[in-house]
Amino acid sequence: MKIAVLGTGDVGRQLATKLVALGHQVTLGSRSADHEGATAWAAENDAAHGTFATAAAGAELVVNATGGMVSLAALEAAGAENLAGKVLVDVSNPLDFSEGFPPKVATPDGASLAEQIQRTFPGARVVKTLNTMTNTVMVDPARVPGDHVVFVCGDDAEAKETVTALLASFGWPKPRIIDLGDLSGARGTELVLPLWLRLMGTLGTGDFNFAIQRA
């Protein structure tokens, strides 16, 4: 599949590298066409890079791996016309560090960032997933033993199926991909970040994940 990964941080590069390894045709999107990190990554991985708009325009599926506080601006730069009709996988977290650490989760009017993205780009088929774990676990769930889970939610059932298949190709067993229903489920998964960050401090590592155990 032709996939654009928007965002050149750890999360974006990790996802892009995995997608290349799985045989997808990946373009890493960044603010500028000559972004140093993106250029280096593309050369190393025999893949492409370009602006947010170039990357999104050529893609069938777009991953938003930009920082949550700048995601709306990055997607605006990508262009609504380049997102229309496409599956938009949102893995970002709206963490506001303006008052230092720990950050607050920015949820104006109680809406998640994923819902704000869907509202701003009604033509995109937004699916929220993977935002509740560190990037190494996202693409290699087996590195953490146990029956830990990944959440998906979104308003478009077919888009969720596409994303679920992608997660399965990352190594997520189907019973551990939990469908939380429509996109408002992202309110729950985004608000988990303060506990996640606290646990990272307590455990001294981000190399963990949540499991749900039932009676």
Residues of this chain that interact with a copy of itself (CB under 8 A) are 102, 104-105, 110, 137, 143-148, 151, 178-181, 184-185, 187-189, 191-192, 194-199, 201-203, 205, 207-215
Nearer to a copy of itself, 30 or 116 (CB): 116
* Distance in Å, CB of 38 to a copy of itself, minimum: 28
Q: Which of 53, 73, 69, 71 shows the shortest CA–CA distance to 4? A: 53
Beta pairing, strands 125-129 & 150-154: antiparallel
Nearer to a copy of itself, 122 or 201 (CB): 201
Nearer to a copy of itself, 102 or 123 (CB): 102
Nearer to a copy of itself, 74 or 137 (CB): 137
**Distance between CA atoms of residues 159 and 89, nearest Å:** 9
What phi, psi does 76 have (nearest 5°)? -60, -45
* Distance in Å, CB of 146 to a copy of itself, minimum: 4
**Distance between CA atoms of residues 51 and 53, nearest Å:** 5
Nearer to a copy of itself, 29 or 103 (CB): 103
* Distance in Å, CB of 27 to a copy of itself, minimum: 31
CA atoms within 13 A on the CB side of 62: 33
* Distance in Å, CB of 203 to a copy of itself, minimum: 7
* Distance in Å, CB of 204 to a copy of itself, minimum: 10
| CB within 8 Å of 176: residues ≥ 6 apart | 141, 147, 148, 149, 150
* Distance in Å, CB of 116 to a copy of itself, minimum: 16
**Distance between CA atoms of residues 197 and 201, nearest Å:** 7
Nearer to a copy of itself, 11 or 78 (CB): 11
Calculate the CA 7 to chain-centre distance: 10
Q: Helix/strand/coil (H, E, C) string of 87-119?
A: EEEECCCCEECCCCCCCEECCHHHCCHHHHHHH
